[in-house]
């Protein structure tokens, strides 16, 4: 049995989508980051960085934090959604790292300065807006070459990126100028496991 500690953010939804895709039994524990629950001693003992998501795999007596690490761990545990052949495997991992190092931080900063910051700083908004659109273009170009982000198979790279793209309306953006990205988004959106995972926690 796996305990999932999560909240309704793109990073949190990566883990729940993955758990739904691989069909493992798990229990959801909502960590309300708007109330500071990620800083409780109980949660810090699971993730010392006080970020969701995190999992505890009781069968393996193992705790895993950082959403990318969780995706890799669950893929290896179930032998699903991550190739074992080196070329295909590292194509997936590099796009997973692209999400972790670029999409997550840049989209997050754009959303913060555009919607959440008490002080509107035009330079910051413009900088992160431009970078967000550049990353949209990178994905659109890549998806013009293959059906999914890291090739012709659906993988953990798609799972990592999808919740961030799914937030485009919340971020006051559009996919209309990125037809391949929009095609990919609509395809992933139709997956039943993705639909379930995007609604956890409810």
Assess contact for 74 and 67: CB atoms under 8 A.
no
Share of the chain above pLDDT 90, in %: 100
Mean pLDDT of the chain: 98
**Would you say residue 202 has pLDDT above 90?**
no
Residues 62-68: contacts with CB under 8 Å, at least 24 apart: 67/11, 67/12, 67/14, 67/15, 67/100, 67/160, 68/96, 68/97, 68/99, 68/100, 68/160
State residue 185's pLDDT score: 98
Which domains can be identified in the chain, with CATH numbers?
Answer: 2-80 (3.40.30.10), 86-196 (1.20.1050.10)
State residue 99's pLDDT score: 98
* One-letter-per-residue 3-state SS of the chain: CEEEEECCCHHHHHHHHHHHHHCCCEEEEECCHHHCHHHCHHHHCCCCCCCCCEEEECCCCEEEECHHHHHHHHHHHHCCCCCCCHHHHHHHHHHHHHHHHHHHHHHHHHHHHHHHCCCCCHHHHHHHHHHHHHHHHHHHHHHCCCCECCECCCCHHHHHHHHHHCCCCCCCCCCCCCHHHHHHHHHHHCCHHHHHHHCCCC
Beta bridge partners of 57: 2, 62
**Would you say residue 80 has pLDDT above 90?**
yes
Q: Tokens representing 97?
A: 């790292």
pLDDT class for 67, splitting at 50, 70, 90? very high
Model pLDDT for residues 104-119, shown as the tens digit of each residue: 999 999 999 999 999 9
């Amino acid at each position: 049995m796996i305990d999932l500690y999560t909240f309704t953010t793109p990073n949190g939804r990566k883990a729940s989508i993955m758990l739904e895709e691989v069909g493992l039994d798990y229990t959801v524990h909502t960590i309300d980051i708007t109330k500071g629950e990620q800083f409780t001693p109980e949660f810090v003992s699971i993730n010392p960085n006080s970020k969701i998501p995190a999992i505890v795999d009781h069968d393996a007596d193992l705790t895993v934090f950082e959403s990318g690490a969780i995706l890799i761990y669950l893929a290896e545990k179930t032998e699903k959604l991550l190739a074992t052949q080196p070329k295909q495997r590292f194509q997936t991992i590099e796009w997973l790292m692209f999400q972790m190092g670029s999409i997550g931080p840049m989209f997050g900063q754009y959303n913060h300065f555009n919607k959440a910051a008490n002080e509107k700083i035009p330079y910051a908004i413009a900088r992160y807006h431009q970078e967000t659109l550049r990353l949209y273009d990178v994905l659109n170009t890549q998806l013009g070459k293959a059906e999914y982000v890291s090739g012709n198979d659906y993988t953990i790279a798609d799972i990592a990126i999808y919740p961030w793209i799914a937030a485009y309306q919340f971020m006051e953006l559009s996919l209309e100028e990125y037809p391949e990205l929009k095609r990919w988004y609509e395809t992933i959106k139709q997956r039943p496991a993705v639909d379930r995972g995007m609604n956890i926690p409810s």
